[in-house]
Structure 1
Amino acid sequence: MSDSNTTDFTNPSTFILLGIPGLEAAHVWISIPFCTMDAIAVLGNFIILFIVKMEPSLHGPMYYFLCMLSVTDLVLSTSILPKTLSIFWFNSREIDFSACLTQQYLIHCFSVMGYGIFMAMAFDCYVAICDPLRHSNTLTNPMAAKIGLAIVVCEGMLVMPHPLLARRQPYCRPYIIPHTHCEHMAVVKLACADIRISSYYSLFVLFCVLGLDVFFIAVSYTQILRAIFNLPTKDARLKTFGNCGSHLCTILAFYISAISFSLTYWFGENVALHFHVFTAKVYLLVPSMLNPIIYGVKTKQIRGRMFRLVTHKGT
């Protein structure tokens, strides 16, 4: 009995990632849209970072928050896609236990950071529209740096218990994860012990982060919309709303995909497993791809700088 326990209940050296269960024969074809989305995300976010760095007029809090968002998008894209493509293209399904927990931490940590960055951007937009005379004194570059540091430290510490709890669990054979990456609950469900603490903590993080951030963002945009509707002319209302329109579009893209993923995961017991995997990929990749496109199209300063780069290279 003791031999069986030491054999079957232990921390594995590796996990096996199945990819998309039931669609193994189509992995190569499925990799095409995933690879395309990741390429757009990486290229677009690098362009945003480059433009903000090279354009002195963009060296302000709003664009520094945008750079933080681009960095989180780059980390999310690069932390999941290489292993996903190795599964799709080379059938390389093994992942080291420590690498799996590291990937899990990066995914959840930088996803949660995205919520905090959106809240900071909503606050910046609120001050710029509702109290414009104090904006330059309230949100200075040092203040933006402090807010960014607080987001990184707080969200990093909030997510840290996830891999720590997962590392302490004993796991049952077979060490197979029906996913393309080490999603937290997919890993924890392989444990042979009670996982209620991990489940409860995941719900706490979800409601703490999602609930508080959504509340503050909703309050900010309620005040913003009230201030916009109180402007005297239609042109002024449209111009002011356009200044924060890109923020609102990215927030909606992020939260719609996050809520869809959460609802599918927690209440989709009868949903096909491959649909769970697809929603998880959409949640991570689509906002990372859309964010630079939205800001590139809707932000006049970024669009103008990008146009000058293209025309300069063309000449």
Structure 2
Amino acid sequence: MKALVFEKPDQPVVRDVPVPDIDENGVLLKMKAVGICHSDYELLAGRYIIPISYPVTPGHEWCGEVVEVGRNVKTVRPGDRVVGECVVKLPDRIHHFGFSLDGADREYLTAKPEWLHKLPDGISDKQAALIEPFTCGFYAVNRLGGTNASETVVISGGGTIGLVSAATAIGMRARTIVIDPLAHRRDTALRLGAEAVIDPVAEDAVERVKELTGGTGADLVVEASGHDASLASVFDLAREDGRIAMVGINIGRTIGAHLGNIQMRNLTVRGSIGSPGVWPAAIRFLERTGLDLSPIQTHDFPLGESVKAFELGKQSDKCIKVTLFNA
């Protein structure tokens, strides 16, 4: 079968590898669709938040079809369409699928049934490849108590995580505003249902948010960019007693920020990483709201052109989410 393999840092290749076997407790799946994530580029560059080794196959935002199950597996059966969690437990330790374990950028992959969640018919294979990042945005918003139609939510950063966080708030009927300097990301936010977008290069984002909220600021702010300027201003975007979810990754850098605003304005600030415990709820949420996440998925490639797909994915001015398909 074909698989994308990172042989070494900065050495991606598509090559033939054996179809994996399963044991009595395993599941064999055919990959249907898989998204390329920013963290895949961290892996390609030779760095990640947990220990990694090479060669390794990436891919943790995926949808697949069950083709074979071990004799002890009762929860899924051949023909089921499923998605799988990224942080998984094996006897030796907790692993990150697609990082410390070979991931889904291959024609066939193996999994344990406890990692898997069945898909309702109303969610397509392509949209299902966005469920993993969607759960991260869904988790971040719910970690701060969720939202509703009475509130204004500001998302700082219009990449994939920012946009799925916006989609979560939109699905909860909140008035949603997205801040991002790239026009195609702002346009995508509007297509998802955001009420307003802000270009922080062309105007003062804090002042514009105040203008849009009658001078009060946002009830909930999701910082999803990890950029220094966004992180420095995030405490000024929220209203008195507002809530802030810190989702954007900024590891190893120091920035200047008005931390005194946390106390003076009685803000609630929480970090958010991953999506523990929310997958079934997130899938039901997508099914029942009918949210269309497809505007986020800007480019498609067959698995055999994975190296080309990764090259395009580096160009944030041209694309948001690149999706690979198993033809």
Q: TM-score, normalised by structure 1?
A: 0.25
Q: Which has the higher helix share?
A: 1
Higher RCO (CA-CA < 8 Å; seq separation 6+): 1
TM normalised by structure 2 equals: 0.24
Larger of the two Rg values belongs to structure: 1
